[in-house]
Amino acid sequence: MTSSNDAHNIGRSTSCNPSNNNHNVDDSRINMDSRQSQVEVHHVRLPPDVSTLQKLKNKLSEIFFPDDPFFRVKNHSFGGKLLFGFQYFIPVLKWLPKYKFKMFRSDLISGITIASLAIPQGISYAKLAGLPPIIGLYSSFVPPLIYAVLGSSRHLGVGPVSIASLVMGTMLSESISPINEQELYLKLAFSATFFAGMLQAALGLFRLGFLIDFLSKPTLVGFMAGAAIIVSMQQLKGLLGIVHFTPKMQVVPVMSSVFGHTKESARRPKLFWISAAAPLTSVIISTTLVYFLKSKMTQVKYIGKLPKGINPSSKNLLIFRGPHLSLAIKTGIITGILSLTEGIAVGRTFASMENYQIDGNKEMLAIGIMNLCGSCASCYVTTGAFSRSALNFVSGAKSAISNVVMAVTVLVTLLFLMPLFYYTPNAILSSIIIVAVISLVDIGAAIHLWKTDKIDFIAFLCAFFGVLFISVPVGLAVSVGVSVLRILLNATRPNTTQLGKLPGTQIYQCFARYEQALRLPSFLIIGIESPIYFTNATYMLERMLRWVREEDERIESLNNPPLRCVILDLSAVTAIDASGIDALCELKRVLDRKSLQLVLVNPPGAVVEKLHKSKTLESFMLSGLYLTVGEAIADISSTWKM
């Protein structure tokens, strides 16, 4: 990085043409201009000359390759690069050759462990999505195998997740009845999964992963809480109905309260065992109970016969035309984005715990291909699930082999154990669902948002009430809108502060925070805390004039020496556009008419460059541009004394 580039010099003592390549290496030289001041002044410099094309390239590479995924191949031969390319897109090629039998023991244990969670969860979540229970098991078989080949996370446990399941269930059942039009519903679910996969793979392939960052934390917290409440209400209705018929089933609320602890333990991975074992245990206990008491409990609804055998092909069920296509696409987009958000976040969390990095965009590609394949093999939307991944992590998984073990366990279940689920009561599935979704209501996070940031809290409320009372897409859109508006608002009415000098230092800080800061007679020092864009250029101009007016009034009331110089500290003005430049020029004109000097201090590179290109810089060249507030004041004061 030791740059020998052609950074330009701009300063009082250099020629009027700032684009000369006159390097000024002895930065500490004394200002030698006609005023003969003895103040040490450092020159503000232009950033190095970079062509527009190069700039575009840099900008694009920051947008699409912020994590510099190919940094490892920089100094490799072509063969090395090719090998790296293969390994990059198919990570199994990289880690499988180094795989050791010792690791397999850990993976075997954790694979069987997550399967014990995955089987009851799969059945329940499929029900949540309005699908036959068997689809949940299918979705825990094929996708984990594909992820094991393409995924780069060692701990991600793949399968259906509650959020995507409930969104799919909510969105599809608004138009189609999952009971009366079961076949169409199934077709739409697979088609939505296909489009979700398409979207995910496209985002990953074109490295547009940053778009999912637009779902901010408040939006997600609000959305999940709202969605969880909707689902709980639905499921609770079912539960209460059963309770009404058979008072003996009071066991369900009790078990439900047992599950209530899941939420807390999910935050403490060490205790995750208990909560993770709960679904399977309760399924086993309740199924056994129903089996033995079935003559007495005639009102209890249970799953009934499930088909044996592995995933049938669903390729012919995909819909690419007709009146329901738009519903499938819409559902696919929203479930795709939400499941992607969860998968990437979970992957990043566990990668950061074990101190390795995963490439978000590549993960998206892996998840997308997984869903594309899944949609052709009777699976609905799957992703990296938080609960399974946490379980995978605490049970000691070493690689994606644990996903393979889980898939094989599910395969065995599909082939031989399906009859065992015949008597599993629907109520127990409802309670598994309620427990899963209730843990999505994160009241602590909501309180935290309220305390730290009111606008974040509003975005949270929009997502929460929007999803609860209007619809999933509207709630999400309004909440994202609020978050974006906040950025714009910050760029519309930025903060400006008056700075003073901390005694005995060269530090200039705002009066509001540092009451010991000193005013300098005849100087008004203003810090602008935002880029100057068209949205705030007029405001900035008016606000600066108001600062000047207020300072004039203060000076008048105190009989202080009159104002002579206005210093703008531009350190935080990280960008400027055409309107901003116009506003600065207008400010200079107005202050000129009032015989006030306008000085710019420490403009960042991008701003100096714009000022230079628009020929505005020239008007500031003669003692109107300094690197620090201290140097500006010293230099300008020295000229006044003469």
Task: Select 264 or 542, whichever has its Cβ closest to a copy of itself.
Answer: 542
Told to check if 538 binds a copy of itself by CB under 8 A, we report: yes
Residue 295: count of CB within 10 angstroms of its CB? 6
The H or E element spanning position 73 is none
Q: Residue 267 or residue 549: which is nearer to a copy of itself going by CB?
A: 549
What is the DSSP pairing of strand 625-626 with strand 597-601?
parallel
The site string for a copy of itself over 358-377 (x = CB under 8 A, - otherwise) reads: --x-----------------
Site string for a copy of itself, 196-215 (x = CB under 8 A): --------------x--xx-
Q: Are 160 and 117 in contact (CB under 8 A)?
A: no
Of how many residues is the chain composed?
642
Q: Write down the least CB distance from residue 37 to a copy of itself, Å.
A: 17
Q: Which of 548, 464, 510, 547 is nearest to 629 (CA)?
A: 510
CB of 472 to a copy of itself, least distance (A): 19
φ and ψ at residue 497, rounded to 5 degrees: -135, 150
Q: Shortest distance, CB of residue 157 to a copy of itself, whole angstroms?
A: 22
Token look-up 């009241």 returns 443
Determine contact, residues 381/192, Cβ cutoff 8 Å: yes
Q: Identify the residue among 14, 19, 574, 637 touching a copy of itself (CB under 8 A).
A: 574
d(CA 364, CA 348): 12
Among 20, 38, 288, 357, binds a copy of itself (CB under 8 A): 357
Interface with a copy of itself, residue 269, by CB under 8 A: no
Nearer to a copy of itself, 280 or 364 (CB): 364
The helix (H) or strand (E) run that includes residue 345 is helix 325-353
Between strands 523-528 and 496-501, the pairing is antiparallel
Q: Does 520 contact a copy of itself by CB under 8 A?
A: no
The only residue of 81, 486, 564, 639 in contact with a copy of itself, by rule CB under 8 A: 486
Angle at 138 between CA 396 and CA 365, to 5 degrees: 70
Instruction: Decide: is 240 part of the binding site for a copy of itself (CB under 8 A).
Output: no
304 lines the binding site for a copy of itself (CB under 8 A): no
Per rule CB under 8 A, count of chain residues that contact a copy of itself:
107
Between strands 383-385 and 523-528, the pairing is unpaired
The correct pick among 329, 494, 600, 629 for binding a copy of itself (CB under 8 A) is: 494
Residue 527 forms beta bridges with which residues? Answer: 497, 569
For position 595 contacting a copy of itself by CB under 8 A, the verdict is: no
Is residue 586 near a copy of itself by the rule CB under 8 A? yes
Instruction: Please select the residue that binds a copy of itself; options are 320, 512, 595, 641, rule is CB under 8 A.
Output: 512
Binding pattern for the stretch 30-49 against a copy of itself, x by CB under 8 A and - elsewhere: ------------x--xxxx-
- In the complex with a copy of itself, the residue whose CB is nearer, 15 or 495, is 495
For a copy of itself, give the closer residue by CB, 260 or 605: 605
Going by their DSSP bridges, the two strands 383-385 and 157-159 should be labelled as antiparallel
Taking the C-alpha atoms of residue 417 and residue 412, their distance in angstroms, rounded to an integer, is 7
CA dist 587 and 585 (Å) reads 5
Task: Count other Cβ atoms within 10 Å, centred on residue 554.
Answer: 13
Do residues 201 and 365 lie in contact, with contact meaning Cβ atoms separated by under 8 Å?
yes
Nearest CB to a copy of itself, comparing residues 378 and 597: 597
Contact flag: residue 511 with a copy of itself (CB under 8 A): yes
Site for a copy of itself contains 152 (CB under 8 A)? no
- CB closer to a copy of itself out of 66 and 253: 66
Q: Judged by CB under 8 A, which of 271, 289, 545, 585 binds a copy of itself?
A: 545
CB 598 within 8 A of CB 544: no
Judged by CB, which is closer to a copy of itself: 459, or 468?
459
Using the rule CB under 8 A, is 51 a contact of a copy of itself? Answer: no
* Dist. CA 562–CA 521, nearest whole Å: 8
Q: Which residues are CB-contacts of 623 (< 8 A; sequence separation ≥ 6)? A: 12, 597, 599, 635, 636, 639
Residue nearer to a copy of itself on the CB measure, 25 or 179: 25
Q: What residues numbered 417-476 form the site for a copy of itself, per CB under 8 A?
A: 448-449, 451-456
Least Å from the CB of residue 214 to a copy of itself: 6
Residues 336-355 touching a copy of itself, rule: CB under 8 A, are 352, 355
579 binds a copy of itself (CB under 8 A): yes
Note whether 552 binds a copy of itself by CB under 8 A: no
The residues, ordered by sequence, that sit 6+ positions from 202 with a Cβ below 8 Å of its Cβ are: 208, 368
State how far the Cα of 231 lies from the Cα of 390, in Å rounded to an integer. 23
CB nearer a copy of itself, residue 436 or residue 607:
607
Tokens 């909440």 correspond to 479
Contact residues for 83 (Cβ-Cβ < 8 A; gap 6+): none
Residue 618 contacts a copy of itself per CB under 8 A: no
Nearest approach in angstroms of CB 582 to a copy of itself is: 7
Q: Which is nearer to a copy of itself, 134 or 461 (CB)?
A: 461
- What is the edge-to-edge ordering of all strands in the sheet holding 496-501? 508-510, 496-501, 523-528, 565-569, 597-601, 625-626
Candidate ranges 365-373, 393-401, 422-430, 568-576; the one touching a copy of itself (CB under 8 A): 568-576
Binds a copy of itself (CB under 8 A): choice among 250, 469, 589, 622: 589
Four-residue CA torsion sign, 226, 279, 236, 417: positive
| By CB under 8 A, residue 561 contacts a copy of itself | no
- The one among 13, 14, 106, 509 contacting a copy of itself by CB under 8 A: 509
